[in-house]
Structure 1
Amino acid sequence: MNSSRYFRLPNLFSSNSTNMFFQRLFAMANYSFSSSSPSSKTSIQAVYDICKNNLTPSTSPPPQLIHELSSILDTIGPSDVGLRDEHQEDDRGHGFSTPNTLNRLDRWAQPITYIDLNESQSFTMCMFCFPTSSVIPLHDHPGMTVLSKVLYGSLHVKGYDWVEPPLIKDSKEIARAPVRLAKLAVDKVLSAPCSTSVLYPKTGGNLHCFTAITSCAVLDILTPPYEEYSGRKCTYYRDYPYSSFGSGDELIDGKEDEYAWLEEIDAPDDLYMRQGIYAGPPIRM
């Protein structure tokens, strides 16, 4: 995946320390390809093949395809993609440190690791490895369907869908952009093992944020992928309580705490990410 299309992934480490990190964090599972049947197929290969043969950049996947992909993703765990279950409380996602190596502030400052499995015009398949308490801020997936499987650990997901027709209010404050009304679609903690989550272009929490309750990892399939010239640009938002801008005249279906006003913002400067290395079973493209 072209990382600039999704998140900035600064080159933060020397080659030696990077190798040390990934040797520990992304340890290869004990696969024995020589003893397995040549026709056998790994779970991640099965997911890739379904995506490659059925997903397109111009149409949303039909329900039966979503069901088929979700059924396979439900069976996938860390070892199926070359990850080790790294949620020990004293590790904070470092993978190579000991409890006394870094102080508490350093631990909370660890980056989220992005691992690219596939990037094409039809879909992106990738993983995110979160240290404890790390956050991917509120962002959207315009015109996209996204399947997410938590591989290990616990992740809090909070997601909104736009209220239609659009309800937009201009701010009286010069420094603030207009805000648009959205309704809460999901607000829960996903803990492995759990079922695959799916969001759709207009439903299911298309605008969402992730907060790692423990160190955790997520396998994502995005279809079609982000592509700015096609109108699929990742936009970030700040959410405000309904009472911040609601006058009471708006027609809302539910309680006020189920709604929020979202303001478009620049990509956060403190979104701390780095590129990872896929260490699972080979995927035949």
Structure 2
Amino acid sequence: MSALTIESLHAGYRKRPVLKDLSLAPVQPGTVVALLGANAAGKSTLLRTLAGQLRPTSGSLRLGEHELIRLDAHTRRRLIAYLPQSLPAAGALFAWEAVSTACSAAHPGKSARARDQLTEAVFTRLGIAALALRRMGELSGGQRQMLGLAQALVRQTPLLLLDEPTSALDPRWQLEVLNVIREDALAREATILLVVHDLNLAVRFCDRVVVLDGGHVIAEGAPATALTPAVLRQAYGIAGRIEHCSQGKPMVIADHALPHLHGETA
């Protein structure tokens, strides 16, 4: 397994640059990284660029020996799984079929039995076996989000990109999902980047945080040290701090929102 490196990245949309000279310290295999920041800070743009959905104007994106910008479609599917914010379609497919199809596309060389075993294992790990024979159109938004995650996990890629994978989930399922994500990173030595808005989930489950503001990295490192009061102020416009709970675990306390600066817009 090899490190993910991002150097001098410029990327965005037509006539609207978003990421500006963005570089990160190398991300080692087995690491879970939370991408943090306010709305429109550049988090989803970074994931989409890594996934190959946006072509950067300049910079380098490497996973070990692979330059991600130049990957052919087959190699990209083998190396990268991407879960966007949008939910899987609410169609007539059974949930099992939706995940099994993703597994077959990612592992064409495996036998049908081996692919079935992989699919079953993902349903079991996520605790959603009861959904396997239900149609996607019958599922709630949260259940479809779980199926989207199952489709990403079953591919077993070395780089996994997750855009708000817990946004439609209640607190119990948020904890279940992030436990599985962390276990997956460790078991496979996968590199996982995820966008999350809940700072305390990031502090609890992620090895590193990268805080973006206006397309720039303003802080990165261990959550308990990177999320300083100054960073929380700049990134989110809040007065906040890191404290420790009765079990000694760090947690973010948001005291209050700060007044908008003159001319600032939401």
TM-score by length of 2: 0.26
TM-score, length basis structure 1: 0.24
Choose 1 or 2 for highest CA Rg: 1
RCO greater where, 1 or 2, for CA within 8 Å and sep 6 or more?
1
